[in-house]
Amino acid sequence: MLKRYIGDKAFYKYVLAIAVPIMLQNGITNFVNMLDNIMVGRVGTEAMTGVSVTNQLIFVFNLCLFGAVSGVGIFGAQYYGKKDNEGLRNSLRFKLILCLLITVIGVGIFLLFGNSLITSFLKGETQTVDPVIAFKNAKTYLLIMMIGFIPFALTQSYSSTLRETGETLLPMKAGIVAVLVNLTFNYILIFGVEPLGIPRLGAAGAAIATVLSRYVEAAIVIVWTHTHKEKNPYITGLFRNFKMPVSLAFDMLKKALPLTLNETLWASGVAILNQSYSVRGVDVVAANNINQTFWNLFAVVFLAMGNVIGIIIGNMLGAGRMNEVMDTDRKLIAFSLFISVVMCIVYASLSPVIPLLYNTSDNVRSIASGLIVMGALMMPFDSLAHSSYFTLRSGGKSMITFIFDCGFMWCVSVPLAFCLSRFTDIPAVYLYAAVQAVYLLKGFIGLYLVSKGSWMKNIVGEK
């Protein structure tokens, strides 16, 4: 029975060849984000809180882009399995169009409603955090970060296509260079270098460093892709024109829109969850920032497995290898679950230590420790839901994934958080635990949907 969930040596060698570069790239990015967060946290709790609030808003924008490239990426992965370069070229064109459109909309929303969105997170009572100073830090950080939206959108479009074609090393290398640039300028700009006349910029310095790193990453990915046409034949003639078959554009839009809407609404749901936690006080915003920063670092391994599942299963579906898909997917999900259990144990064991890295109050540290333990315990169930989502999406089941992911968020998680935060006095840590616990249900629903097998579709035609 157990053998059904465990692959052989060749299987794991193949999986890790795709997974490790993605894990390293995302891991390094989150590691530097963690150092960035700690550096800002050393400046003061207000600076850390302001950056945290803004990053929650930018998170919605980032996931909107992710949904767009992922929706079109379903076609990209299957076109690669079919060895169709024209199809790949059209999928990249469509990604660029969607991502640039989303960027324009995102900038417009933040310019018009940024102040109100930031203020909504800073209304709770506080023992140690000055909400006025936190707001100033958040607003400054947001304005600077918007300068980096375009290179980030371009990087997402190109890097996702490279990964769909099995080229995971270049995005990883570009990410490593970018995070090194980010880390270097973080240290210089956040704390300043007095002998060189560089002032201490705090949160603004962190934003400038991030924007610089995004331009560097975009330049590396774009230049490499266009100068290695032998490895990327689909790039030839990319900008010659943006014409594509109307039927194909419509099909891509049908897949991309539900996923884009899903990611946007899901991220908006996460922002509302965090806003609900903030009702318990601005100290909770700071504590939750600590938890989320480190959760992202420890969860990167099993989160990357979602991308791996989408790539491998998408390639197999595009190649018409239907008889192998279910067995492979079962083993991939089991591997992801195993990894998440390991990360759960490590993360929970560090709960007393992590908050000590921040220059903040004992109350914030205490809340953060509790949130870390609760977040760690839910990692295995997050893994099951995440793996199921990418499995369903690999076959183009956009509406099912929309209901499974976004529907669950808005019909279960958001109402629960809203009601518990407004109509009960439950402490912040237990409020967070109750909301996260519903992922147990979501994980098992995901496994049931995967087991039905109706998602196994070749959407680009037979070889």
285 Cβ neighbours under 8 A, 6+ residues apart: 49, 52, 53, 121, 122, 124, 129, 274, 277, 278
pLDDT in tens, 265-292: 888 898 899 889 988 888 898 899 899 8
Cα 393 to Cα 262: distance, rounded to the nearest angstrom: 12
Residue 193 backbone dihedrals phi, psi, to 5 degrees? -130, 95
Cα 42 to Cα 175: distance, rounded to the nearest angstrom: 25
Q: CA gyration radius for the chain?
A: 22
The count of structural domains within the chain is: 1
What pLDDT is attached to residue 1? Answer: 64
- Helix, coil or strand: residue 193: strand
Q: Is residue 458 part of a domain?
A: no
Q: Ranked by mean pLDDT, which of 239-253, 260-274, 359-373 comes out on top?
A: 359-373
Q: Which domain holds residue 175?
A: 2-452
At residue 260, does pLDDT exceed 80? no
Mean of pLDDT values over 389-396:
82
| Better-scored residue on pLDDT, 10 or 26 | 10
pLDDT band with cut points at 50, 70 and 90 for residue 462:
very low
pLDDT band with cut points at 50, 70 and 90 for residue 188:
very high
Burial letters for 101-133: b for 16+ Cβ neighbours within 10 Å, e otherwise?
ebbeebeeebeeebeebbeebbebebeebebee
Q: Is residue 430 part of a domain?
A: yes
At residue 415, does pLDDT exceed 60? yes
Predicted TM-score (pTM) of the model is 0.74
Q: Is residue 305 part of a domain?
A: yes
What pLDDT is attached to residue 166? Answer: 82
Contact 159, 315 (CB under 8 A): no
At residue 342, does pLDDT exceed 70? yes
Mean of pLDDT values over 385-412:
85
What pLDDT is attached to residue 154? Answer: 95
Contact 269, 411 (CB under 8 A): no
Cα 137 to Cα 135: distance, rounded to the nearest angstrom: 5
Burial letters for 259-273: b for 16+ Cβ neighbours within 10 Å, e otherwise?
bbbbbbbbbbbbbbb
Q: Is residue 462 part of a domain?
A: no
What pLDDT is attached to residue 205? Answer: 93
At residue 129, does pLDDT exceed 80? no
For the chain, the straight-line distance linking the first and the last C-alpha, in angstroms and rounded, comes to 34
At residue 463, does pLDDT exceed 60? no
| Better-scored residue on pLDDT, 319 or 120 | 120
At residue 158, does pLDDT exceed 80? yes
| % of the chain at pLDDT higher than 90 | 38
CA 196 to chain centre: 37
pLDDT band with cut points at 50, 70 and 90 for residue 125:
low
pLDDT band with cut points at 50, 70 and 90 for residue 38:
confident
Q: Is residue 154 part of a domain?
A: yes
Q: Is residue 110 part of a domain?
A: yes
At residue 102, does pLDDT exceed 70? yes
Which one-letter DSSP state was computed for residue 84? Answer: -
Query: The tokens of 96 are what?
Result: 């660029």
Neighbours of 394 (CB within 10 A): 29
pLDDT band with cut points at 50, 70 and 90 for residue 382:
very high
Mean of pLDDT values over 86-113:
91
Q: Is residue 459 part of a domain?
A: no
Return the minimum-mean-pLDDT range out of 68-82, 150-164, 212-226, 413-427.
Answer: 68-82
Q: Is residue 457 part of a domain?
A: no
Please report, for residues 128, 285, 377, the alpha-carbon distance to residue 348 in angstroms, rounded to integers and kept in the order given. Answer: 26, 20, 7
pLDDT in tens, 287-332: 998 998 899 889 988 888 988 898 888 888 877 787 788 889 899 9
At residue 35, does pLDDT exceed 70? yes
Cα 399 to Cα 428: distance, rounded to the nearest angstrom: 34
Element (H, E) at 221: helix 203-227
